[in-house]
């Protein structure tokens, strides 16, 4: 059975409005061995027309995006006409699926480590400049696991948001009593409610409020990986953002953003095309 989700695993809401960096994911509830047959049953129709391609992230998830960001106002319909189609090793499509959505305004934010500012644009016009403190950099081996504290460079998209979100250092293998324990995760037994948190990666990178680091925002990176913002800026960005909005992180150290983390737009187009089962 197919369903349509975001790169963060949330359902794409039929009739919804999403950002210009939206990637369509068709998720199958069982592994697919005949990917070519499955892909031939998938389709994306747009008005105005937009060229794009599917990319198999794994045996259950195939992603579709254009070469460049969507144009605001584009109407998108995606379908999976898999009912009764053999998909390999005795597996058949359970039912067809279809949904439609609209691309909203072009919200593109650039977080540049050279300036430690997040410049937010709406349809090409700067609407907000927000000082930030990003990942402090470096690595540490904790419990046999090497943890990186860079905010990785790459093109992210907004996945979802929560107010508050519960952050727990142990989720990332970091003991509460580590010298690197964030203030927000040392309190209350290693858990803390963080307000106005906008998530941009599948491994827990957020733009979020943290008043304790306002002194560093705009001049010094003291975070583990998240982008710390002032309460006012975090609240504004939270209200402004919709799933699929673009956040480009530039100039930071560490490894480039990977596909599984929400790095679809960081994959070069020629590599993306090669990820199709029909290429």
Element (DSSP H or E) covering residue 82:
none
Residue 264's contacts (CB-CB under 8 Å, 6 or more residues apart) are 7, 23, 55, 63, 65, 157, 272
Rounded Cα–Cα distance for residues 61 and 152 (Å) = 24
The torsion defined by the Cα of 178, 180, 184 and 186, in degrees rounded to 10, comes to 10
- d(Cα 144, Cα 239) in Å, to the nearest integer? 40
- The arrangement of strands across the sheet holding 2-5 comes to 2-5, 24-28, 61-66, 52-56
CA of residue 40 relative to chain centroid, distance: 26
CB 12 within 8 A of CB 18: yes
- CA dist., res. 264 & res. 156, Å (int): 8
Place of tokens 């580590």: 178
| Of 63, 79, 208, 224, catalytic | 208
**Count, residues in the chain:** 279
Among the listed residues 63, 79, 107, 226, the single catalytic one is 226
79 is catalytic: no
- 226 is annotated as an active-site residue: yes
Q: Which residues are marked as active site?
A: 208, 226
């Amino acid at each position: 059975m197919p369903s349509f989700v975001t790169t963060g695993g949330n359902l794409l809401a039929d009739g919804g409005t999403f950002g210009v960096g939206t990637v369509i994911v068709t998720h199958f509830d069982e592994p697919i061995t005949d990917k070519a047959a499955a892909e031939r049953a998938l389709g994306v129709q747009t008005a105005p027309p937009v060229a794009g391609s599917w990319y198999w992230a794994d045996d259950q998830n195939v992603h579709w995006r254009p070469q460049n960001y969507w144009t605001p106002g584009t109407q998108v319909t995606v379908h999976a006409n898999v009912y009764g189609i053999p998909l390999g090793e005795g597996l058949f499509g359970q039912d067809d699926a279809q949904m439609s959505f609209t691309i909203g305004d072009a919200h593109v934010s650039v977080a540049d480590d050279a300036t430690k500012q997040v410049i937010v644009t709406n349809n090409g016009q700067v609407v907000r400049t927000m000082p930030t403190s990003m990942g402090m950099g470096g690595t540490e081996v904790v419990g046999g696991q090497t943890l990186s504290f860079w905010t990785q460079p790459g093109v992210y998209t907004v996945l979802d948001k929560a107010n508050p979100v519960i952050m727990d250092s142990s989720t990332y293998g970091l003991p509460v009593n580590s010298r690197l324990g964030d203030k927000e995760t040392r309190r209350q037994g290693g858990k803390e409610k963080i307000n106005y948190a906008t998530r941009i990666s599948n491994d827990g990178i957020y733009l979020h409020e943290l008043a304790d680091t306002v002194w560093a925002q705009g001049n010094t990176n003291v975070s583990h990986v998240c982008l710390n913002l002032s309460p006012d800026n975090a609240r504004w960005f939270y209200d402004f953002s919709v799933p699929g909005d673009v956040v480009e992180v530039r100039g930071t150290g560490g490894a480039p953003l990977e596909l599984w983390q929400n790095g679809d737009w960081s994959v070069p187009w020629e590599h993306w095309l090669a990820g199709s089962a029909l290429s």
